[in-house]
Chain A
Amino acid sequence: GDSVTQMEGPVTLSEEAFLTINCTYTATGYPSLFWYVQYPGEGLQLLLKATKADDKGSNKGFEATYRKETTSFHLEKGSVQVSDSAVYFCALSKYGNKLVFGAGTILRVKS
């Protein structure tokens, strides 16, 4: 079945460091890809998405590019802030149906 694999955490960075969280997927057909974020004590929020190959999703300084040739959707940010500390989930969906999530990556940013 379809699956998502993302890098294990926790990832600990200093403020203003560059962030990469790796995500790869296995799926038949043409999934849409997503990054969701869960801040401490809050619910899941959509961070960004891409619906077809070579699309770039971006939001709040975060970016991810849908790479069909490497089945990847890595999350990047040029300069992280303490407020970015959260759990990040990579996910896929086909035809607007269920989201299939990775295990999540904890990000801790130190000041």
Chain B
Amino acid sequence: EAGVAQSPRYKIIEKRQSVAFWCNPISGHATLYWYQQILGQGPKLLIQFQNNGVVDDSQLPKDRFSAERLKGVDSTLKIQPAKLEDSAVYLCASSGLAGVSYEQYFGPGTRLTVT
């Protein structure tokens, strides 16, 4: 079974530029999560989708971050404009329906450096 795919793996941009990350979850997984992991900290949820609806985006900085999950499969996370403090690893995870399967499977992450 293929795992969670993410691209790109690394990205370096200057502050005020925009960037987009892509995630393809495990086939059949209804729930998709984006986490931000700043160096030396645990991952923190940015947004959770169930199918193509948003379940939780309370920690998403909506003035600069946006995310979508068209057709309930792939997802894109965008930052515009980027700030220095956005330097982090962005992790995508997927799981079965919330309440049915608790295990989240993580992709390899995208390491973003903002200079």
Contacts and interface: CB of A to CB of B under 8 A. Distances in A.
Interface of A: 4, 32, 36, 42-46, 49, 51, 89, 91, 93, 95-104
Interface string B17-60: 00000000000000101010000111111001000000110000
A96 B99 contact: yes
Contacts of B106: 36, 43-45
A5 to B, nearest CB: 11
B103 interface: yes
Interface of B: 31, 33, 35, 40-45, 48, 55-56, 91, 93, 95, 97-109
14 contacts: A36-B106, A43-B109, A49-B103, A51-B102, A89-B42, A89-B43, A93-B102, A93-B104, A96-B101, A97-B98, A98-B45, A100-B45, A101-B43, A104-B40
Nearest to B35: A99
Contact of A96 (B95, B108, B109): B95
Contact of A104 (B41, B98, B104, B109): B41
Contacts of B43: 44, 89, 99, 101
A88 to B, nearest CB: 11
Of A45, A51, A99, A104, which is in contact with the most chain B CB atoms at under 10 Å from its CB? A99
Contacts, number: 60
Nearest to A93: B102
B99 A95 contact: yes
B1 to A, nearest CB: 15
Contacts of A45: 106
A103 B42 contact: yes
Given A98-B56, A103-B41, 10 more contacts: A32-B102, A43-B91, A43-B107, A43-B109, A46-B103, A49-B103, A95-B98, A96-B101, A99-B43, A104-B40
Q: Which 7 A-B pairs have the closest CB atoms?
A: A101-B42, A96-B98, A98-B45, A44-B106, A43-B108, A96-B99, A43-B106
A95 B97 CA distance: 10
B74 to A, nearest CB: 18
